[in-house]
Amino acid sequence: MNRQLQRVDGTRVLVTGGAGFLGSHLCEKLLHAGNEVVCLDNFYTGRKANIAHLMSDPMFTVMEHDITNPVYLQVDEVYNLACPASPVHYQYDPVHTMKTSVLGMINMLGLAKRVKGKILHASTSEVYGDPLVHPQPESYWGHVNPTGIRSCYDEGKRSAETLCFDYHRRHQLDVKVVRIFNTYGPRMHPEDGRVVSNFIVQALKGEPITLYGDGSQTRSFCYADDLVEGFMQLMATPPEFRGPMNLGNPNEFTIRELAEKVLEITGSSSKLIEEPLPADDPRQRRPDITLARETLGWEPRVQLDEGLTRTIAYFDQLLGTGNARVKTPDLTLSKAG
């Protein structure tokens, strides 16, 4: 059946960064829910392969555009995901990273204001910096280095949150702010430098798995499907609820434990090696998701072993290594979640 006949409410949704890892999952789920979706991306880190399976859908439109420049569209909702999100990518051009967070946010807020729509901004757990409070609740203001190599991303996202709330106070704009904790899944870039993709790629290729420091630092890993469902639930809340809201998996693992799980699932014989810890790398990171549970009834459903199995299968197919001891899935996520 033609998707146009399946539309429920005629909502036209803009997803900036829509060809990225998370953006492509969000575009897919929005389409499946009956929305018309405009995917906007400058393809700096986003990939056309992530959205290739959506291109034949008449309700899906792709625009190549950088949000540091204004764009004029008629939409009902904006999901602002545009920004390099891995240290390798956001540190490559830190000035442009900051411009994307600040100028891009101003442009997207201006668009939402013009069309009298609502906007969800994808912020990050990096606003908490190297936290002195654990786990991190939304009320914690953070411990952030404003001049370090990660500052372009950390402070850019903090500034974007400020802009969201100022637009709400000044213009009564319906804003939603979500703070994303470590997320993984199919369509991660194999060279993004994130710990999950690094470990999986190294294991599948039989290369040494690189631990920065002794691997005792902790992270909490949320599967992409769970996260984007949280996005959509947050967007559906009444205007009086704005966040910020933590979204992530509260189960905490050391980086060494993650590496060992990847080795176990892949069956790889890769060895663990240690390298110096990068500057300002957080020692621990775990979300307090009480607000999401109480407001949305949301919490993650896919736990780490299951999510890693799916993600490893994706990378095994992508890289053509044939080394994983897991079943290879369809590269789209429509059947993986």
Sign of the alpha-carbon dihedral angle for 215, 275, 286, 15: negative
Q: What is the pLDDT of residue 334?
A: 33
Please, what are the domains in the chain?
3-184+222-250+286-301 (3.40.50.720)
Give the separation between CA 97 and CA 89, rounded to whole angstroms.
Answer: 9
Cis peptide before 244 (omega within 30 of 0): yes
C-alpha gyration radius of the chain: 19
Quote the Cα angle for 212-215-221, to 5°: 100
Summarize pLDDT for 297-309 with one digit per residue, the tens: 999 999 999 999 9
Summarize pLDDT for 225-240 with one digit per residue, the tens: 999 999 999 999 999 9
Q: What is the pLDDT of residue 203?
A: 95
Give the separation between CA 182 and CA 250, rounded to whole angstroms.
Answer: 10
Phi–psi pair at 180, nearest 5 degrees: -90, 130
- pLDDT band with cut points at 50, 70 and 90 for residue 336: very low
Tell me if 48 sits within 8 A of 66, measured CB to CB: no
Q: What's the rounded mean pLDDT across residues 263-270? A: 94
Give the separation between CA 248 and CA 116, rounded to whole angstroms.
Answer: 30
Cis peptide before 282 (omega within 30 of 0): no
Tell me if 255 sits within 8 A of 218, measured CB to CB: yes
Q: What is the pLDDT of residue 326?
A: 54
- In three state form, how does the secondary structure of the chain look? CCHHHHCCCCCEEEEECCCCHHHHHHHHHHHHCCCEEEEEECCCCCCHHHCHHHCCCCCEEEEECCCCCCCCCCCCEEEECCCCCCHHHHCCCHHHHHHHHHHHHHHHHHHHHHHCCEEEEEEEHHHHECCCCCCECCCCCCECCCCCCCHHHHHHHHHHHHHHHHHHHHHCCEEEEEEECCEECCCCCCCCCCHHHHHHHHHHHCCCEEEECCCCCEEECEEHHHHHHHHHHHHCCCCCCCCCEEECCCCEEEHHHHHHHHHHHHCCCCCEEEECCCCCCCCCCCECCHHHHHHHCCCCCCCHHHHHHHHHHHHHHHHCCCCCCCCCCCCCCCCCC
Q: What is the pLDDT of residue 333?
A: 35
More confident residue, 89 or 321: 89
Q: Does the pLDDT of residue 161 top 60, yes or no?
A: yes
212 is catalytic: no
Q: What is the pLDDT of residue 231?
A: 97
Least confident of 6-20, 88-102, 130-144, 173-187: 6-20
| Residue 59: both structure tokens together | 């309700």
Arithmetic mean of pLDDT over the chain: 90
Q: What's the rounded mean pLDDT across residues 121-135? A: 93
Considering the candidates 79, 153, 167, 184, report the single residue annotated as catalytic: 153
Q: What is the pLDDT of residue 331?
A: 37
Summarize pLDDT for 2-32 with one digit per residue, the tens: 333 233 457 999 999 999 999 999 999 999 9
Give the separation between CA 112 and CA 51, rounded to whole angstroms.
Answer: 24
| Residue 256: both structure tokens together | 């060494």
Give the separation between CA 129 and CA 201, rounded to whole angstroms.
Answer: 27
Give the separation between CA 189 and CA 194, rounded to whole angstroms.
Answer: 9
Q: Does the pLDDT of residue 329 top 50, yes or no?
A: no
Summarize pLDDT for 25-84 with one digit per residue, the tens: 999 999 999 999 999 999 999 999 999 999 999 999 999 999 999 999 999 999 999 998
Q: Does the pLDDT of residue 335 top 50, yes or no?
A: no
Q: What is the pLDDT of residue 323?
A: 57
